[in-house]
Amino acid sequence: MEIHNVMKHLILFFLILPIISTAQVGINTDLPNAASALDIYGQNTVGFGGLSLPLVTESQRGLITTTPQSEGTIVFVSYASGVRCLEIYDGQQDVWQKINCLTLDPIILFSEDFESYSSGTGINGSGNSGDYPASVSKWTLNDIYGSLASSDYVETQSGVLEINDTNGPIELDTQSINISGYSNISFSIDLSGTGELEYNPSLHSTDDTNTVNDYIDVSYSIDGGAFVTITDFNGNGTTHHTLIPYYVSGGAGSAPFFPDDTVTQTGLSGSTLVIKVRFQNWSGDEFFYVDNIIVTGN
């Protein structure tokens, strides 16, 4: 009798085995789609739900053991930047390919509006002034030739950085800004000027010493590399300068003398970013203004 029962179980096992080996899996359905190995059916009840894929960080994804046979493996990756992507493993190229990404609005990585400092923070002909440099961590000022006279200055006034009669180039450098892990890095700076600002292209070779040419240059450095100058922004500069006055010295001119603008740069990438603004004017009635330095990324 015992042998008979064993034989019956063996026969039943071998009859079921082919069915098991080719079986489809259906969840909430007894009739899985013929084209699918796994068919998840959302029933028309309050039991509606979705498919929850493994949620991993970028570093965790890198720890997943993959082989060519892992092709088609899908995960949902959350990046430090806030971007989240549905990704599939490409076994032929041994890479994770992004299927679709959910992007966020740009994140502000750095901003300076010059409103948090006491009036007169910066440098003048007598040296440092106001909160500078003890309470200023976002930027530094460099008087290239030490040319500021006693009444000249680069200081915060009424919530902007005001530049008056520099008698040579002075530079503002931002702190090193961390942009690692972010994409589509962009920055913008509001620049404006008042007074009878002027520029004579024929004197370019002596720009910094000719007591005539006024200009503003914006440049940037990625990962400690050489600074790249944004030239002829919106057609209001030259091949050497970002912005120059409309008025050509020695010719006829009238206000407005300077092309106020928001200078922008997009499409940057890297780990660190430094922005430099270089400015120069030569008269007590000439002023430049710098405001709202903003860096964003995704």
225 in Cβ contact with 262 (< 8 Å): no
d(CA 73, CA 86): 11
**Is the CB of residue 72 less than 8 Å from the CB of residue 89?**
yes
What is the reported pLDDT for 242?
A: 98
β-sheet bridge partners, residue 156 = 161
- Residue 62: pLDDT over 50: yes
Q: How many domains does the chain have?
A: 3
Least confident of 42-51, 79-88, 181-190, 230-239: 42-51
My answer on whether 193 and 138 are in the same domain is: yes
Claim to verify: residue 124 and residue 40 sit in the same structural domain: no
Residue 20's H or E segment, with its range, is helix 2-21
Contact 229, 219 (CB under 8 A): yes
- Tokens representing residue 202 in the block: 């024929």
Q: What is the mean pLDDT of the chain?
A: 87
88 and 199, same domain (yes or no)? no
Amino acid at 262: T
Same domain, 91 and 238: no
Q: Residue 45's pLDDT is what? A: 59
Between residues 96 and 19, the one the model is more confident about: 96
Q: pLDDT band at 19, cuts 50/70/90?
A: very low
Q: Report the length, in residues, of the chain.
A: 298
Question: What pTM did the predictor assign?
Answer: 0.70
Q: Are residue 64 and residue 165 in the same domain, yes or no? A: no
Interacting residues of 85 by C-beta distance below 8 A, sequence separation 6+: 76, 77, 79, 98, 99, 100, 101, 102
pLDDT reading at 130 higher than 60: yes
Q: Which has the closest alpha carbon to 189: 116, 139, 120, 132?
A: 139
Domain closes at, from 103, 123, 144: 103
- Are residues 137 and 90 part of one domain? no
CATH of the domain at 242: 2.60.120.260
Question: Does the pLDDT of residue 7 top 90, yes or no?
Answer: no
* Dist CA 58 CA 80 (whole Å): 8
Region of residue 11 (phi > 0: left; psi between -120 and 50: alpha; otherwise: beta): alpha
- Residues 150, 222: one domain? yes
Whether residues 151 and 280 share a domain: the answer is yes
Q: Of 199, 196, 193, 195, which is closest to residue 212 (Cα–Cα)? A: 199
Whether residues 111 and 171 fall in one domain: yes
Rounded Cα–Cα distance for residues 86 and 137 (Å): 39
> Rounded to the nearest 5°, which phi and psi values hold at 56?
-135, 160
CA 90 to chain centre: 29
Q: Which residues neighbour 127 within 8 Å (Cβ) at sequence distance 6 or greater?
A: none
The model's pLDDT over 205-218, given as tens digits with 9 standing for 90+, comes to 999 999 999 999 99
Does residue 223 sit in the same domain as residue 177? Answer: yes
Do residue 71 and residue 187 come from a single domain?
A: no
Domain check: are 79 and 139 in the same one? no
What residues make up the domain containing 85? 52-103
